[in-house]
Chain A
Amino acid sequence: MAFIEIQNLFKRYRKVVAVNHIRLEVKQGEMLTLLGPSGCGKTTTLRCIAGLERPEEGDILIDGKSMILGGFVQPSKRGIGMVFQNYAVWPHMKVYNNIIYGLKLQKISKQKIRERAQQVLELVGLAGLEDRYPGQLSGGQQQRVALARALVRNPKVLLLDEPLSNLDAKLREKMRFEIKSLVKRMGITSVYVTHDQAEAMVISDRIVVMNSGNIVQIGTPLAIYEAPANRFVADFIGTMNFISGEIVDMPRDSDTVYVRTEFCEKMRCRTNVIADTTLGAKVNASIRPEDVEAFTEAPHAGENLFKGVIAHKAYLGNFLYLFVTIGNSMIRVQIPHHIPQEEGEELYLFLNPEKCMILR
């Protein structure tokens, strides 16, 4: 059941199109992430849901109620909670007053307000700090204040705009899990905006990948990583080797295609959901660095086995990272073990056909 429905949303700033007629549904209790590079329209979409921006066209339905076409609903009337990128914790109010600000605007008894505030403070782990001013808190604590403030009114929808981007790396990693379990426990429908793919993978039920105002792909973290819709998604989420070529053979009744590349006549790949796979089509044979296998000596003659020269070799602790040239192509390789070869020496790469996909 769609709890938030975005219908044909269009927004531009003067001549620049920020959001280009997108459609999107968020299910009840779902944690959805809008992911994309800066300027892709993810924040604008979020701000349209919040009512902080007015779209030129389209409508947004929250819990079945129109927010725009049925008369513009002010942000104050949408019943949402929002966490801002810079927290936006009011510096002139104590933590407690920051949190109960929204509650005080409702007709609730003082007793109830106090109880509710206490609950939320404990939930986010801020109990005991209610009399501090934001200036006396660390970045992480301010972040929790912003979260508490957003949750205190039991919002129908929680919006989070890159809430972790101002924290240091260690804290960021910890907070991802905290936010996820908190929101899941409360069962709030939430929309999360980030440009950090790892964050999106951890936190989301589904990810919406956006680019220049358009939605490129929607799917679970697994689906998006394993079967990216195109070159942009594959490149943005994780790392991918692209070897350009053209389709030369497609055996019937199999999920296999053969691609002629710059260094090989027939490279075997697995087909994926790309519809218009036709003979002669220009495609990218693509494989992730961790799916490439490296061998010191040729293991056995077979398909997708190539001899290359190590251009760069870097030891990164938990794995080895190599740049290997085959012909004029540069293949990135990530292997979990050591190899004796040094830069400039030869080795064999096996581009596993099961992991080789074709992308546009």
Chain B
Amino acid sequence: MSRGNLFLTSSLWLIIAFLVIYPLSILVLESFKIAGSTGWGIHNFLEFFQDTYYLKTFGNTLVLSSLVLLATTLFGIPLSYILARYRQRGKTFFTALILLPIVLPAYAGVFAFVIFLGKFGTLNLLLMDAGLIQKPINWIYGLHGLVFIQSLHLLPFIVLSLSAGFTTIDPSFEEAAEVEGASGFRRFITVTLPLCTPTYLAGAVIVFLWPFTDWLTPLILGQIDFLPSVAYINIAYHFTDMHRKYMGIVAVVISSLVCIMLFLLARWWVERKKYTGLSKGTTSEGRVIEPGATIKFLSYLYMLFLAALVLLIPIVLGLAAFSRRWVFEPFPTYWTLDNFRVILMETPLLLQNSFVFSGLALIFGIAFGLPAAYLIVRTRIRGKDALDFVITLMLAFPGMAVGVSYLLAFWKGIPLATHWIIMPLALFARRLPYFLRMAHSSYLQLDISLEEASEVSGAGKFRTFLNISLPLLIKGVLVGVVMFFIMAFQEISTAIFLYRGGWETLPIGIFLNWHRGMEFGIAAAMAFLMIVITFILLLIIARIGGGILKAAWGPGVR
């Protein structure tokens, strides 16, 4: 164990301790405090589970999670089968489109559907104009709308994990089933699907956890009786009401616990269940079938339907962004650039903050992630597995938990929360795994003998890193960098708890503009701008990593 590596691990651990372990333990400690006294105990938790209201929010969230998982699975199985197995034109295009929601912020989708499917939204107005309905139909305000919007946002995760399964199954498994006499549907149910369970589970966990972390979608749809939304309202609006504050903190802790436990459970299960021989695909694309005409038509129709729903998001937001006073009309009639004038000229601070905070977070991310990836992949230093574990765990932590814990931890003792640096620091801590995973996986692909050859040739470790490792890693690292930036740029759940006047970012601007109910157009324009920036960054990834498809798939590869 060399001295340099030892120094590196200890500094990384110090950072982790300060930015992850310390604030999160403060959060947990706080949940055990008894309001109005100096005592400790499980009092808060008891109260939470005895209160029928809070118990109901917990139940609601579970129901929502199950429904969303059910919906995404039902829609995802045929979709991923089509994408993975059928040979057809435009597959790349459809895949990219259907996977798009991964990189779009969830709130962009909500706003778009509020405009399009709202009470007097485009669809209702069109239907009423056509005389098909008398009164507007409630498309989205309610559990059904919540399930619909969250499912659309989460569908890509299921599709990614299932089609990864479909493409990597050794074709001979299915061929053997065919030879044994099981054909078509039966083979699919008895062989194909069961073999996909490990990969499916990886996606299913992400989907199931989402309702435990998403506070904003229910809030916008006027459905607040869900764990994260209640937590947000209690903490953000009733900070002075001790009881409600503690109930909020307990809600955050419980959501986090659910997330972490499920995440670990899935990880453990996937590790245990990895089928041997699964990775031995004979062809790179697996089994590809030429579908019959009817099937082909139906599958196109199906893909088109889902792609259209996804496409609605940027289209509707675009319409709203370039118009004003779009109310009670199916389509806007007054076109203007005024919204963008307001964003770019009157409040350039938001955009500036977003770039500065995300940029700083990114620099922290690289400075932390590259050495961490090096330690984890290339050394046998003690504690590296624990380091990897803690960082990966951040994937499962709700952004809200990070935000609240920073608020609690960096207020008194270490008054970091009074300085704007808390914003990039929190973004860095929250999005840490994204960059690390990417650097990690490209490091794994880098054959160690390439580095050894350099050392044997007379170059020291550091020079080897600069001359050999970095140039060969750069693609993966850059993709990770851009992905990290996108994620930091869109981040709201953590930032919403930490921002103060003058620190607002673009996502917070979107939220505030919606919240004040004044300038829906500006909120839409901001969301549209966000999508445009995301898209530009994605194009950059595609340039680096080769192919828009990879760009869209990248974040799903964990």
A residues contacting B by CB (< 8 A) are 50-52, 74-78, 80-82, 84-86, 88-92, 101-102, 105-106, 146, 149-150, 153, 159
Contacts and interface: CB of A to CB of B under 8 A. Distances in A.
A274 to B, nearest CB: 41
A273 to B, nearest CB: 39
B458 A105 contact: yes
A86 B457 contact: no
A88 B457 contact: no
Contact of B459 (A76, A86, A159): A76
Interface in B433-458: 447, 449-450, 452-458
A102 B454 CA distance: 8
24 contacts: A50-B452, A74-B460, A75-B455, A76-B456, A82-B453, A82-B456, A84-B449, A84-B452, A85-B449, A86-B449, A88-B447, A88-B452, A90-B450, A90-B453, A90-B468, A101-B454, A101-B459, A102-B457, A105-B457, A105-B463, A146-B453, A149-B457, A153-B457, A153-B458
A105 B456 CA distance: 12
B472 interface: yes
A77 B459 CA distance: 8
Nearest to B452: A52
Contacts of A52: 452, 455-456
Contacts of B456: 50-52, 75-76, 78, 80-82, 150, 159
Contacts of A90: 450, 453-454, 468, 472
A85 B452 CA distance: 12
B452 A149 contact: no
Given A78-B456, A84-B453, A86-B449, 5 more contacts: A76-B458, A88-B453, A105-B463, A146-B453, A153-B458
A76 B459 CA distance: 5
A91 B458 CA distance: 19
B444 to A, nearest CB: 16
B130 to A, nearest CB: 61
A52 to B, nearest CB: 5
Contacts, number: 64
B471 interface: yes
A173 B450 CA distance: 26
A76 B457 contact: yes
A107 to B, nearest CB: 12
Given A91-B472, A92-B471, A149-B453, A86 B447 contact: yes
B452 A75 contact: yes
Contacts of A89: 453
Interface of B: 447, 449-450, 452-460, 463, 467-468, 471-472
A86 B452 CA distance: 12
Contact of A76 (B450, B455, B467, B471): B455
Contacts of B467: 101
Contacts of B447: 86, 88
B455 A74 contact: yes
Q: Which of B450, B452, B457, B460 is most buried by chain A, counting CB atoms within 10 A of its CB?
A: B457
Contacts of B472: 90-92
A32 B550 CA distance: 48
Contacts of A150: 456
Contacts of B454: 90, 101
B428 to A, nearest CB: 30
Nearest to B472: A92
Contacts of B459: 76, 101-102, 105
A85 B449 CA distance: 9
A343 to B, nearest CB: 35
A90 B447 CA distance: 10
A16 to B, nearest CB: 14
Nearest to A150: B456
Contacts of A106: 458
Query: Which residue, of A76, A102, A153, has the highest number of chain B Cβ atoms within 10 A?
Result: A76
Contacts of B463: 105
Nearest to B463: A105
Contacts of B460: 74, 76
A336 B447 CA distance: 47
Contacts of A50: 452, 456
Contacts of A102: 457-459
Nearest to A86: B449
A295 B13 CA distance: 78
A78 B206 CA distance: 51
Nearest to A85: B449
A319 B452 CA distance: 45
